[in-house]
């Protein structure tokens, strides 16, 4: 399949099956915003939960934070965002459309017109806090979650009684007034980030940076991203930001971007730049007492920062497969193109679907009861409409790993048929043992 076609298929599937809708669509939309529908919110929550489990729950050296989106304007002055968070903007002299300079050629892509000279454009979205829209009340919607962690550094250190090295994880919304949002949910004006700020002694910075690079790559691969779809791009010395001692982007084979690769996550050794900047601007010391040297040190910080929305897009693209002529054994599905979303079970919106063979109450009543019992533990769908082959295909298309068929024999033998999405193997499992059977399969 052509890469461009794959993107169209994902956008269409996302809309048709309720993963992702255009934001404010009823009123013509709002550019750069997207809404996650009934299945999208489940996928997104599962990605965030898998990230939190790996990076907080399973490690003894990480704590969490949920800082406010609105912060004192002084934060953005100290961090450098009011001075440096600019993109160069060019405007077409003929049609007046505006573009990011580094994303277009010499002529306007819409009408071929000439561009004006580039002007710097600040990406932060301004707002006023309080009933008066004065300059004093002006602040910004945060363009990254990271600053909340730096500003709360001392409070976290004191209350969690941590010693170096330790890290803080945070998931939350960020906002950037992107000049050209696009490529579906890849570049948007409102998005979510999963960020880690890992604090360590300065001389351990590069070792820990390398460990995080490997750990983050392993996380993506562990959730099913294929080797051929993911790689590192390590910045050359002359490409590094002035505060960075090392930066790597984790790139995904998106069906757009430079040479078909674009950024999924950034990992940087930000040195002591951020804590020092906030210490200077606030007049408060932001350091850790080192028992060995009996001195205060300002830690270095390693920052793995991933976009949730880009993760959703990458996992959908990576999992999408079409099978010409179908693969089901049921006759009604022959010769059709079948879509299978081979999502990792940890990410699949529904872990199982209960499908009674007929919608007669003899089968539908106990089948509904079975679905209700399983819902104590997992998100479980129930579907009794259309042929069983069609219902399997509906579940394959949204990535449900297990379909549970309740048939007339189930009334006699108290067993159901469990069908595996990927292998299509069918197991006959006793209802009493079904939860344990699924739990063993869904162990991750």
Among residues 213, 318, 219, which one has the least CA distance to residue 268? 213
Dihedral, CA of residue 347, residue 351, residue 357 and residue 358, to nearest 10: -90
Q: Which two tokens stand for residue 80?
A: 């450098």
Rounded Cα distance, 270 and 432, in Å:
54
**Residue nearer to ligand GAP on the CB measure, 268 or 352:** 268
CA dihedral 106, 110, 114, 116 (to 10 degrees): -90
Q: How far is CA 160 from CA 85, 157, 163, in A?
A: 32, 6, 9
Cα separation, 148 vs 352, in Å, equals: 38
CB of 243 to ligand GAP, least distance (A): 12
Rounded least distance, CB 303 to ligand GAP, Å: 6
Write down the least CB distance from residue 88 to ligand GAP, Å. 16
Site residues for ligand GAP per CB under 6 A: 144, 146, 176, 178, 187-188, 191, 193, 195, 263-266, 303, 305-307, 309-310
CB of 379 to ligand GAP, least distance (A): 26
Give the C-alpha separation, 391 to 224, whole Å: 25
Closer of 45 and 364 to ligand GAP (Cβ):
45
Complex with ligand GAP: residue 81 or 421, whichever CB lies closer: 81
Residue nearest to ligand GAP (CB): 307
Nearest-approach distance from CB 174 to ligand GAP, in angstroms: 7
Contact 299, 92 (CB under 8 A): no
Residue number, 187 or 415, with CB nearest to ligand GAP: 187
With beta carbons less than 8 A apart as the criterion, state whether 200 and 206 touch.
no
**Cα 27 to Cα 15: distance, rounded to the nearest angstrom:** 17
Q: Which is nearer to ligand GAP, 150 or 406 (CB)?
A: 150
Shortest CB 45 distance to ligand GAP, Å: 17
Structure tokens at 391: 């219902």
> Least distance to ligand GAP from the beta carbon of 425, Å?
37
Angle (nearest 5°) at CA 207 between 201 and 209: 90
- For ligand GAP, the closer CB: 14 or 146: 146
DSSP summary character for residue 385: S
Give the residue with the Cβ less far from ligand GAP, 249 or 381. Answer: 249
What does the longest C-alpha to C-alpha distance in the chain come to? 79
């Amino acid at each position: 399949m052509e890469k461009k076609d794959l993107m169209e298929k994902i956008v269409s599937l996302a809309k048709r099956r309720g993963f992702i809708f255009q934001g404010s669509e009823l009123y013509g939309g709002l550019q750069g915003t997207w809404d996650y529908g009934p299945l999208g919110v489940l996928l997104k929550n599962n990605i965030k939960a898998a990230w939190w489990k790996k990076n907080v729950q399973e490690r003894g050296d990480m704590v969490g934070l949920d800082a406010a989106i609105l912060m004192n304007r002084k934060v953005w002055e100290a961090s450098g965002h009011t001075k440096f968070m600019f993109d160069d903007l060019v405007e077409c002299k003929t049609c007046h459309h505006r573009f990011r300079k580094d994303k277009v050629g010499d002529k306007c892509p819409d009408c071929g017109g000439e561009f004006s000279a580039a002007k710097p454009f600040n990406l932060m979205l301004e707002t006023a806090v309080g009933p008066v829209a004065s300059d004093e009340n002006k602040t910004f919607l945060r363009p990254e979650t990271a600053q909340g962690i730096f500003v709360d550094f001392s409070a976290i250190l004191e209350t969690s009684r941590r010693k170096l090295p330790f890290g803080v994880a945070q998931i939350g919304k960020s906002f950037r007034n992107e000049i050209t949002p696009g490529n579906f949910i890849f570049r948007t004006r409102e998005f979510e980030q999963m960020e880690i700020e890992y604090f360590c002694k300065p001389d351990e910075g590069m070792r820990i940076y390398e460990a995080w690079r490997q750990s983050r790559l392993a996380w993506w691969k562990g959730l099913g991203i294929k080797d051929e779809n993911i790689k590192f791009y390590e910045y050359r010395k002359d490409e590094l930001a002035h505060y960075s001692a090392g930066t790597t982007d984790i790139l995904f084979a998106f069906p757009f971007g430079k040479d078909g690769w674009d950024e999924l996550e950034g990992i940087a050794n930000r040195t002591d730049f951020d804590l020092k900047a906030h210490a200077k601007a606030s007049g408060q010391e932001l350091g850790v007492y080192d028992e060995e040297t009996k001195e205060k040190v300002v830690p270095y910080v390693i920052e793995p920062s991933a976009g949730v929305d880009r993760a959703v897009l990458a996992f959908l693209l990576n999992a999408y497969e079409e099978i010409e002529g179908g693969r089901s054994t049921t006759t009604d599905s022959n010769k059709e193109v079948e879509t299978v979303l081979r999502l990792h079970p940890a990410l699949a919106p529904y872990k199982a679907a209960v499908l009674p063979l007929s919608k007669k109450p003899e089968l539908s009543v106990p089948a509904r009861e079975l679905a209700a019992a399983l819902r104590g533990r997992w998100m479980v769908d129930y579907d009794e409409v259309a042929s069983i082959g069609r219902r399997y295909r509906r579940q394959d298309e949204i990535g449900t790993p297990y379909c549970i068929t309740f048939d007339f024999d189930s009334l006699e033998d108290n067993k159901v048929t469990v069908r595996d999405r990927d292998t299509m193997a069918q197991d006959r499992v006793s209802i009493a043992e079904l939860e344990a059977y699924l739990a063993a399969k869904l162990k991750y």
